[in-house]
Chains A and B, each alone.
Chain A
Amino acid sequence: MTAVLDVLAAVALVSGGLLCLAAGIALVRFPDLLSRMHATAKPQVLGLLLVLIGCGLRLRTAVDITTLVLVGAFALVTAPVAAHMAGRAAYRTGQVRRDLLVTDELADHPPDAP
Chain B
Amino acid sequence: MTPRLRRRNRIVAVAGLVAVWLLLWGSFTPLTLAGGIVLALVVLAVFPLPPVTFAGRLRPWPIAVFTALFLRDLLLASAQIAWLAIRPGPPPRSAIIAVPLRVGSDLNLTLTAEAVSLIPGSLIVEADRRTGTLYVHVLGVTGPAGVERARAGVLDLEARIVRAIGSAAELAALDPEGAPR
Please give, as numbers and ranges, the residues of chain A lying within 8 Å of B82 by CB-CB distance.
19, 22-23, 26, 43
The smallest C-beta distance from A114 to any residue of chain B, in angstroms, reads 9
B125 touching A105, Cβ below 8 Å = no
Across the interface, name the chain A residue whose C-beta is closest to B117. Answer: A80
In A51-72, the 8 Å CB interface with B consists of: 62-67, 69-70
A100 touching B93, Cβ below 8 Å = yes
Please give, as numbers and ranges, the residues of chain A lying within 8 Å of B146 by CB-CB distance.
102
How many residues of chain A have a CB within 8 Å of chain B?
Answer: 48
Interface CB pairs A-B, < 8 A, 19:
A19-B82, A25-B85, A29-B85, A30-B85, A35-B94, A38-B123, A46-B77, A76-B114, A79-B118, A80-B118, A83-B123, A84-B127, A87-B123, A103-B97, A104-B95, A105-B97, A106-B98, A109-B98, A111-B130
Q: How far is the CA of A67 from the CA of B120 in the complex (A)?
A: 28
A69 touching B23, Cβ below 8 Å = yes
Please give, as numbers and ranges, the residues of chain B lying within 8 Å of A62 by CB-CB distance.
26-27
Q: Mark B24-42, 1 if CB is under 8 A from A, else 0.
A: 1111000000000000000
Counting chain B residues whose Cβ lies within 8 A of the other chain, the interface size class is: 35 or more
The smallest C-beta distance from A95 to any residue of chain B, in angstroms, reads 12
B81 within 8 A of A: yes
Q: How far is the CA of A104 from the CA of B91 in the complex (A)?
A: 18
Q: Mark B108-133, 1 if CB is under 8 A from A, else 0.
A: 00000110111011011111101001
A23 touching B147, Cβ below 8 Å = no
In A33-58, the 8 Å CB interface with B consists of: 34-35, 37-39, 41-43, 45-47
Please give, as numbers and ranges, the residues of chain B lying within 8 Å of A70 by CB-CB distance.
20, 23-24
B13 within 8 A of A: no
Q: A41-B123, A67-B24, A105-B97 are in contact. List 19 more A-B contacts (CB 8 A).
A: A22-B81, A29-B91, A30-B85, A31-B91, A31-B92, A34-B125, A34-B137, A35-B92, A35-B94, A38-B81, A42-B118, A43-B82, A46-B74, A62-B26, A69-B23, A80-B124, A84-B123, A102-B141, A106-B96
